[in-house]
Amino acid sequence: MASIVPVDPIHLVYRTPLASRYASASMKQNFSDFKKFSTWRKLWVHLAKAEKALGLDITDEQIQDMEKNIENIDFELAAKEEKKFRHDVMAHVHTFGAACPNAAPIIHLGATSCYVGDNTDLIVLRDGLEILKPKLASCLEELCKFAVEHKSLPCLSYTHLQSAQVSTVGKRACLWAQELLMDLQALERVSTDLRFRGVKGTTGTQASFLALFEGNTRKVEELDSMVTDMAGFKRHFIICGQTYPRKVDTDIVSVLASFGASVHKVCTDIRLLASFQEMEEPFEADQIGSSAMPYKRNPMRCERVCSLARLLMALVQNPLATASVQWMERTLDDSANRRVVLAEAFLAADAILQTLQNVFEGLVVYPRVIARRLSEHLPFMASENIIMAMVRAGGNRQECHEKIRSLSLQSAALMKQEGLPCDLLDRVRNDPYFQPILDKLDACVDAKTFSGLSERQVERFVTEEARPMLIKYEDHLTKAAKLDI
């Protein structure tokens, strides 16, 4: 009889799958309680240092005690204090004060809850963007390599998911890369635009600090600038209510949602190409595609990306709604919503990027299948070339067009009704009308002559647009993204 294995308590409670299953350790740490509450303490230290420098009665010993206890967080005590006060910030003020009682009288001096709450959120958002940007750059780097490698491999292109003209595998990859490059540019923009809330007091008027400094406007404004600088921001809001503008959340999550739309399109394309057997995502030796169908090679990674991307795209509705109902200087109905949405948006984007890089690093192309599928449609696409060749040989354009049209319809009917391969070229060869150009027929259906400037476009896009953006990340690119599941 098998022994009974004890259940780890962690498996007895719900955990968001984004944290337990998909996202990276760095992003989970960024949104952790430890990061949040240790940042609160750092902000209290920044405030105390700036207030002391501007003349308030705060000692070096008090600041040193605070600094020594930034990471010494008694979470159990904080939970008890919050249960008593029904206020998370005051619970941690008391908990911090218990760790450094000498500094307790000056912790949070003049500040409101949003001083630590909102400013910490902005720090976490900033740091989250810094985690995402090099990961997206790494995905782009891999995709650009793939595009260059396959820049001249002809393939069918599609409109309406119907065969259209000839493109190249590399050109299609650049369609994907271009949208992801736009997403990277958008991430950089919101990073650059991000501002600190700063030291603004209860409803953003800075009245409490004006009282602390006995009406000295210069010192109040210096305090704001000093703390902003200590927190690593170049700018702070001049105008805000009790909170920083919730449009900031909308802007950031909108960029992440737009990225979600991009990767959904990319991975949907790869899934479709996998069904055509032209291209596949990586498939490991021991991977099982189906519990019932052993031969299956399901595009699990791309399906995961699409699944998470839909979540990411939907999340943007929350910050939009939240920003729209911030009555006057603020309402508290933003709090619970933001605790969930901001973290989940970043964790989802992070999980997507991990999976996407794994896909891009291991993309498999099947040139012979691509060539076979192309050959089935190429004769129809070559019709115009055949017409032009006949005209150059002295033929009549309209007469030749009617000949080709008639033969094309016959061939297409045979393909659809009897499942036979395209025989249009054989029909052209066997028709005496086309005798003058039989020696030029092979050149008329050379796939490489149909892809236009595809190869050059790949080279130009990678050289002129992608590389200049990616060069700043070259020391931070990651390799060999591995998935645990």
CA distance 276 to 162: 12
For residues 266 and 394, membership in a common domain is answered with no
For residues 439 and 402, membership in a common domain is answered with yes
Q: What's this model's pTM, rounded to 2 decimal places? A: 0.89
In a domain, 216, yes or no: no
Which amino acid, residue 110?
Answer: G
Q: Report the CATH number that the domain containing residue 325 is assigned in CATH.
A: 1.20.200.10
Q: Residues of 168-205 as b/e, b for ≥16 C-beta within 10 angstroms?
A: bbbbbbbebbebbbebbebbbebbeebbbbbbbbbbbe
CA distance 294 to 281: 18
Which of 179, 323, 201, 302 is closest to 251 using CA atoms?
323
Q: Report the CATH number that the domain containing residue 94 is assigned in CATH.
A: 1.10.275.10
pLDDT tens across 179-211, in order? 999 999 999 999 999 999 999 988 999 999 999
For residues 125 and 181, membership in a common domain is answered with yes
The rounded mean pLDDT for the chain is 90
Tell me the mean pLDDT in the region 434-460: 85
3-state secondary structure of 296: coil
Check residue 116 and give its pLDDT. 95
Which of the two residues, 207 and 386, has the higher pLDDT score?
207
381 pLDDT higher than 50: yes
Residue 196: what are its φ and ψ, rounded to 5°?
-80, 145
Check residue 60 and give its pLDDT. 96
For residues 92 and 121, membership in a common domain is answered with no
pLDDT band at 288 (very low <50, low <70, confident <90, very high): very low
For residues 59 and 127, membership in a common domain is answered with no
Active site residue 290: yes
In a domain, 459, yes or no: no
Backbone conformation region of residue 2, classed left if phi is above 0, alpha if psi is from -120 to 50, else beta: beta
Find out whether 120 and 39 touch, Cβ atoms under 8 Å. yes
Which of 399, 305, 380 is closest to 348 using CA atoms?
305
Check residue 485 and give its pLDDT. 66
Which of 202, 220, 146, 203 is closest to 176 using CA atoms?
146
In a domain, 4, yes or no: no
- Quote the number of domains for the chain: 3
Check residue 54 and give its pLDDT. 96
- Domain holding 402, by residue range, is 383-444
For residues 95 and 117, membership in a common domain is answered with no
CA distance 18 to 343: 10
For residues 246 and 300, membership in a common domain is answered with yes
pLDDT tens across 61-85, in order? 999 999 999 999 999 999 999 999 8
Q: Could you say which of 20, 26, 290, 406 is catalytic?
A: 290
Instruction: Give the tokens for residue 172.
Output: 């299609």
Q: Could you say which of 11, 160, 275, 291 is catalytic?
A: 160
